[in-house]
Amino acid sequence: MRKKIVAGNWKMNTTLPEGIELAKAVAAKSAETPSSVDLIVAAPFTHLASIADLLKTSKVELAAQNCADHASGAYTGEVSADMLKSVSCKWVILGHSERRQYYGETDAKLVEKLKLALGAGLGVILCVGENLEEREAGKHFEVVGAQIKDVLYNFTAEDMKHIVVAYEPVWAIGTGKTATSDQAQEIHAFIRKALADKFGAAVAEDTTILYGGSCKPSNAKELFAQKDIDGGLIGGAALKAEDFIQIAKSY
Ligand code: PGA
């Protein structure tokens, strides 16, 4: 059975004291969520070491929002996969559309990042998704299919045990506009098929595929009821512990 996951992506929000408060609140309420649902919070780099300690006694796992495409050395301002591992991160989000859009993250760079992250023993949440123009032109399958192939087809079935895919239509991120559950299900099934084509049906069946994009307490239940939607990557609603936990309780 593949894992159900609800992951919060805090993005560039919260000062350290605010982040600590949020982490404490999420950890405290995490016991209310079903044991079948794993919880992850992806905090800013500056918060990771402090938050790791706070989460230790809860079910909440820690993620970073990015890592470097080099192992170590003269790359000023970058944070390596090994560094994340050393502060007790279990996961790293890679290929978020904001990284692709504002920081020139390409699929080729993502392959390097994934190799380093997996090599460091981190799990990876790989984000894929089309923008509005691509959706309106009916190119979403083509775009998402290419992202899956160009990144994940460079890895093995064994690697896939440590990789979660997050489908996040760019037009739904932070816009309040959610994909309908049918739209999301359709593309999740397509992603699972693309994984089956390369890695076989068993690996595809075991891969967790999350939906992200204006997922909130009011729509999580309907989205999570879909056969191929295994949880969510939550942005805005993850900044309120209550909402985040409510989303996880939708299962
Ligand atoms: P949102 O962000 O929930 O605020 O739309 C989701 C994401 O970018 O991961």
> Which is the closest atom of ligand 1 to the Cα of 93?
9
pLDDT score, position 200: 98
Total domains in the chain come to 1
> 123-161, pLDDT tens digit by residue?
999 999 999 999 999 999 999 999 999 999 999 999 999
State the catalytic residue, choosing from 96, 105, 140, 188.
Answer: 96
Give the whole-number percent of the chain exceeding pLDDT 90.
Answer: 96
| Residue 205 annotated among the catalytic residues of the structure | no
Give the whole-number percent of the chain exceeding pLDDT 70.
Answer: 100
Residue 205 C-alpha to ligand 1 middle, in angstroms?
25
For atom 3 of ligand 1, which residue has the closest CA? 235
> Which is the closest atom of ligand 1 to the Cα of 9?
9
CATH code for the domain in which residue 69 is found: 3.20.20.70
pTM here is 0.98
Domain extent, residue 231, equals 4-248
- Pick the residue with more confidence: 142 or 173? 142
Give residue 1's pLDDT band: very low, low, confident or very high (50, 70, 90): confident
> 60-101, pLDDT tens digit by residue?
999 999 999 999 999 999 999 999 999 999 999 999 999 999
Spatial CA neighbour of 65 closest among 25, 4, 147, 124: 124
Does residue 56 carry a pLDDT above 90? yes
pLDDT score, position 178: 85
Q: Check if 65 has its Cβ closer than 6 Å to any atom of ligand 1.
A: no
Give residue 169's pLDDT band: very low, low, confident or very high (50, 70, 90): very high
Q: Check if 173 has its Cβ closer than 6 Å to any atom of ligand 1.
A: yes
| Residue 70 annotated among the catalytic residues of the structure | no
Residue 42 C-alpha to ligand 1 middle, in angstroms?
12
> Which is the closest atom of ligand 1 to the Cα of 234?
3
Q: Check if 9 has its Cβ closer than 6 Å to any atom of ligand 1.
A: yes
Tell me the C-alpha to C-alpha distance, in Å, between residue 145 and each of 32, 68, 102, 130, 141.
Answer: 37, 25, 22, 10, 6
Q: Check if 174 has its Cβ closer than 6 Å to any atom of ligand 1.
A: yes
